[in-house]
Structure 1
Amino acid sequence: MSETEYSGFEIREATHDDYEGVAAIAAQTWDGDDYLTDVYHDWLDGEQRHTLVGTVGDDVAGIAQIVMLSPHEAWGQGLRTAPAHRGKGISEAITYELFDWAREQGAVVSRAMVYSWNQAGLGQSRSTGYEPVTEFRWIRPEPMSGALPASVSCDPDAAWGYWTGSDAAQSLSGLTLSMDESWAVQELTPALLDRAADETSVLTVADGDGTHGFAYRSRTFERETDGGEVETWAEYGVAAWDSLDSARTVVEAIRVDAADCGADRTRVLIPETAGYVSDGAYIRANIGDEPDFVVAADLTADYRRDRPTPRSR
């Protein structure tokens, strides 16, 4: 296992034996409600991803992972540093080692997501070379059994044509949810919409005047409630529309599609704009309380400039 030594700590690839150390960090994050302990072993077994830990002596002092979402897009996630070891440059060193790995795989950009209220996370992301890109909000309409609206069909080509000229695409910088990685966004492409049409659903709203909006289901997943029950969620990679009427139609189609796939709940990504968020409120689509931010780092740049460098490589 390769290691890189910095002043006061080392960076190496994570192993299953690091679980207890990672769990100790997670216990001090988000008041102990950190997802890392639930996904850690799956993280290490997954493909097209690289997970690193920072160590101080025998202690795990930091962790993060990077995932390849496409041949040129990487996604950074799970960056954590133990409170006792913050301020030593561990998170920066892990981030740049992960950037190196992603660039070797062919990535030219790495993106990440930060809660809008997370001041520490936002500051840390900016300090490691990430720049703000876009923001989005969730709506969570309730599933509803029934028939799809008459104006809704599965037409990925029409959806793509609508997307390329939409204000939603401009606001979101062309980014929507990945179908393979949770809480990750990547560039929406015709191939992704074709895949959704084959594997999940594409809900395209069109009439004699043209296409007016669409949504696609990115994935379904199960989550345990605080009461110990298991709920099925249907997640939609984006919802876009051009009027209140088409907003109602898109959301109604989502509700029907979610019920049809057996979901108990939904979450749907929409642009964080006054128009979209107020539309969601007006049609009672159950909008989330706060937006989430997406940041990106240019991996073609010299991201290590004026940053910590290892003593030996």
Structure 2
Amino acid sequence: MSPTVRQARTDDYDDVVAFVEEVWSDRDTAEYIPAVFRDWVASDGPDQRTVVATVDGTAVGLCQGVMLSGHEAWLQGIRVDPANRGEGHGLAMVEDLLDWAGDGGATVARNMVFSWNDAGLGQSVAAGFEPTCSFRWASPDPNEATPSLSVTDDPTVAWTYWTDSDARTALGGLALDGEQSWALSELTHDDLRALADEEAVFAITGGGTRAMACRARVTRDPGDDVRLAEYAVGAWDDGEAAAALFDAIRDDATALGVDRTRVLLPETPRHVAEAAAVRGDTSDWPTFVCSADLT
């Protein structure tokens, strides 16, 4: 029997919660789906579609597609009941959402897969995605700090640095999206201008521009209910510039009164090592981003 995919409904909640809590039961990973599922369903519309795969009317799979820009779609929250794996439900949901995204004008769709999730990586490749880049989170503790180098909030200075940085090359131009907490999209000059007005942009200077970062939002992490400042990307030239950038982020987070920070950085040996050297508290594993060409 072919998998059945339909748009998710509020009354799927109990089914979804029952199986998502079993998906990663063998790992110490917080599951955010129960906290957001009802909001996802309620906010579906032209730029967002949440679907479930069903067996005999019971939801056994979940996935959501979101349009991040006029040409970029993002797929997230894909889960399949462990008791129904290997039956094609994941691929059926992805195909439904890729068709939806293409019909909506997207030329590329991306997703995020933890590096330890072999099944998710294999399913992404089977669905037509190709590995694009990898990143890691840093979480420097909020703390009053004075950067050792000068800091400017000029978005054009930050943009000029970003365009020629090895971080941009490693990330394929992607950074944490300004609207979706668990999505990456192409960072543009207009994005940095908007973030400078609405959030914060940092460029570290001293003998030229040597680092940049931008704050995407302050939110509440549904996994542990703490206030979190999310920084869309961090890029720097060397250890001294990294130290100054992370101090600027620590000081910004302190002024905001948040409990924790999260900074996206490219998964390169240099960036990870230098972030660790300046007490960046990097995550234990990288995360992969995969892309599907919809043209």
- Asked if TM exceeds 0.5, the reply is yes
Amino acid at match of 2:117: N
Residues 1-313 of structure 1 aligned to structure 2 (within 5 Å): 7-31=1-25, 33-46=30-43, 47=45, 48-146=47-145, 151-207=150-206, 209-223=207-221, 230-300=225-295
Give distance in 2, aligned partners of 1:86 and 1:146. Answer: 49
> Which one is further off, 111-120 or 31-40?
31-40
Q: CA deviation at 1:66?
A: 0.4
Q: Any idea what SS the aligned residue of 2:68 has?
A: strand
- Relative to structure 1, the CA distance from residue 192 to residue 245 in structure 2 (aligned partners, 3 Å threshold; closer, same or farther) is same
Amino acid at match of 2:17: A
Q: CA deviation at 1:261?
A: 1.2
Equivalenced residue count is 290
Percent identity for Structure 1 against Structure 2: 44
Amino acid at match of 1:283: V
| 1:115-173: CA deviation from partner (whole Å, max 9, x where unpaired) | 11111111111111111000011111111125566610101101111111110000011
Give distance in 1, aligned partners of 2:235 and 2:293. Answer: 28
Q: CA deviation at 1:34?
A: 2.2
> Which one is further off, 217-226 or 178-187?
217-226
Q: Any idea what SS the aligned residue of 1:193 has?
A: helix
Preserved CA contact (<8 Å) 1:202 1:217: yes
Residue 305 (structure 1) aligns with: none
Preserved CA contact (<8 Å) 2:31 2:223: no
Give distance in 1, aligned partners of 2:83 and 2:284. Answer: 32
Give distance in 1, aligned partners of 2:33 and 2:92. Answer: 20
Preserved CA contact (<8 Å) 2:75 2:109: yes
Amino acid at match of 2:108: V
Preserved CA contact (<8 Å) 1:152 1:206: yes
Amino acid at match of 1:136: F
Give distance in 2, aligned partners of 1:150 and 1:114. Answer: 36
Preserved CA contact (<8 Å) 1:149 1:253: no
TM-score relative to the length of structure 2 = 0.94
Give distance in 1, aligned partners of 2:70 and 2:188. Answer: 13
TM-score relative to the length of structure 1 = 0.89
- Relative to structure 1, the CA distance from residue 231 to residue 171 in structure 2 (aligned partners, 3 Å threshold; closer, same or farther) is same
Give distance in 1, aligned partners of 2:248 and 2:113. Answer: 29
Preserved CA contact (<8 Å) 2:139 2:263: yes
Amino acid at match of 1:295: C
Q: CA deviation at 1:45?
A: 2.0
Q: Structure 1, unaligned stretches of length 5 or more?
A: 1-6, 301-313
Amino acid at match of 2:41: L
Q: Any idea what SS the aligned residue of 1:23 has?
A: helix
Q: CA deviation at 1:9?
A: 3.3
- Relative to structure 1, the CA distance from residue 225 to residue 87 in structure 2 (aligned partners, 3 Å threshold; closer, same or farther) is closer
